[in-house]
Chain A
Amino acid sequence: MTADEAVVAVLDALEAAQVPYMIVGSLASNFHGIPRSTRDADFVVEVPPGNLEHLGSALPPGLTLQRQGSFEAVTGTTRYLIDLAGSPFVCELFVRSDDAHDRERFSRRQRVRTLGRVAFVATAEDMIVTKLRWADAAGRSKDIEDIRNIIAVRGSELDWAYVQRWAAEHGTTGLLEQIRGSIPPA
């Protein structure tokens, strides 16, 4: 199984197991912005802690859900890994936290028709808000690049009032303006 086939298989398993989810991370950035290489596929799932057992049995051979979730310090959530046999590629499931923006972005997830199926993806605005937070806290250059690319590709279609409200809440307005200012005019 290839890495892109693994992503599709995880989407199908989440649907089959009736686990509410949304695609986040670089997959969602690629969806809204400019595609780049990524070694993992990230999903946010809405399940009670320890209640992902049935997902494991919905996965095809070659994909294995690690039963033990780990606490993820950066996001403050529990993370479960799905390994792809013989590959360094990994799928990561983050349990939705009680953080105010985490709750709102999950409620705003987009239902999109893609890859011949219905899938749920975090909105472009919520990807910007989340990645601003990560870039501010962890200083990862790829988060800044992802934000820049989403803004450049989606531009005026974005709900700027929503982005600015959360940026103000998170104290990332300065970083947002800095990134916007770095985008060459069309």
Chain B
Amino acid sequence: MSPIVALTDELYREEVARARAMRPEDKLLEGPRLFERACGVMADGIRHQHPELDEAGVRALLAARLARLRAIERR
């Protein structure tokens, strides 16, 4: 087995072990929480890229980028 495969397998086993250690109810709500955190970081990126935008403009551009990502996922 290549060292890269061995490493990715070991990382995956650790990920599985962490998930097994979590309470199911924490796992249930982790998805929306992670999404909000990701949106916060995306919005920070937009503000950095477009300092001229107000908050409504940031939200609109964020929504457009998310829509583009969704369209790509559905292809």
- Residues of A at the B interface (CB closer than 8 Å) are 2-4, 6-8, 23, 26-27, 30-39, 41, 86-89, 112, 114-115, 121, 138, 140, 142, 149, 152-153, 183-184, 186
- B46 in the interface, Cβ–Cβ < 8 Å? no
Is the beta-carbon distance between A38 and B31 smaller than 8 angstroms? yes
A-side binding surface: helix, strand, loop or mixed?
mixed
Is the beta-carbon distance between B20 and A89 smaller than 8 angstroms? no
| Chain B residues, Cβ within 8 Å of A112 | 24
| Chain A residues, Cβ within 8 Å of B18 | 34
- B53 in the interface, Cβ–Cβ < 8 Å? no
Is the beta-carbon distance between A31 and B63 smaller than 8 angstroms? no
What is the CA–CA distance of A71 and B71 in the complex, to the nearest angstrom? 18
- Residues of B at the A interface (CB closer than 8 Å) are 9-10, 12-13, 15-16, 18-20, 22, 24-25, 27-39, 59, 62-63, 66, 70, 73-74
| Chain A residues, Cβ within 8 Å of B30 | 30, 35
In whole Å, how far is B53's beta carbon from the nearest beta carbon of chain A?
16
Known A-B contacts A88-B63, A114-B24; the reply to A3 vs B32 at CB < 8 A is: yes
| Chain A residues, Cβ within 8 Å of B31 | 26-27, 30, 35-38, 41
Is the beta-carbon distance between B66 and A34 smaller than 8 angstroms? no
Is the beta-carbon distance between A41 and B9 smaller than 8 angstroms? no
| Chain B residues, Cβ within 8 Å of A152 | 12, 16
| Chain A residues, Cβ within 8 Å of B16 | 34, 149, 152-153
Is the beta-carbon distance between B19 and A7 smaller than 8 angstroms? no
30 sampled A-B residue pairs with Cβ under 8 A: A3-B32, A3-B33, A3-B36, A4-B32, A6-B32, A23-B28, A31-B28, A33-B19, A33-B27, A34-B15, A34-B18, A34-B27, A35-B31, A37-B38, A38-B34, A39-B66, A39-B70, A87-B39, A88-B62, A88-B63, A89-B35, A89-B36, A114-B25, A121-B28, A149-B16, A152-B12, A183-B12, A184-B10, A184-B12, A186-B13
Is the beta-carbon distance between B24 and A39 smaller than 8 angstroms? no
Q: What is the count of residue pairs linking A and B with beta-carbon distances less than 8 angstroms?
A: 93
Is the beta-carbon distance between A30 and B27 smaller than 8 angstroms? yes
Is the beta-carbon distance between B24 and A7 smaller than 8 angstroms? no
Selected from B9, B15, B29, B66, the residue in CB contact (under 8 A) with A115 is: B29
What is the CA–CA distance of A142 and B74 in the complex, to the nearest angstrom? 11
Q: In this complex, what residue of B is CB-closest to A150?
A: B19
What is the CA–CA distance of A7 and B19 in the complex, to the nearest angstrom? 21
Is the beta-carbon distance between A35 and B39 smaller than 8 angstroms? no
